[in-house]
Amino acid sequence: MPVTIIALTSVRSGEEESLQRYLATVQPLMQSAGANILQWFEVVAPVAGEAAVQYVSLIEYPDEGAVRAVFDSEAYRSLDEVKKRTFSTYQIGYASRLQ
């Protein structure tokens, strides 16, 4: 059964090199797991309150095993310092359609 993941991220200014390192690791992991980016948004301006994140992504994985293959992999776990350096916001979670 397909699983949808939501990613809320903001990239730190000046960390383009770190971002490229992150993407160079994560993109092949996602591809090998059969993940598909359903939608990717940039939050350009808040309507109310403060802009909490820069990007919102919806990613579909074929099943829970595919999600775990990415996030439990040694390659992904090796990115801890890169993620801290690259992102000021990094929240990844399961999404569930309410209606």
Give tens-digit pLDDT for 51-76.
789 999 999 999 999 999 999 999 99
- DSSP line for 63-93: SHHHHHHHHTSHHHHTTHHHHHHHEEEEEEE
Q: Which domains does the chain have, with CATH numbers?
A: 3-95 (3.30.70.100)
What pLDDT, on the 0 to 100 scale, is given for residue 98?
78
pLDDT tops 90 at residue 99 = no
Q: Are 88 and 11 in contact (CB under 8 A)?
A: yes
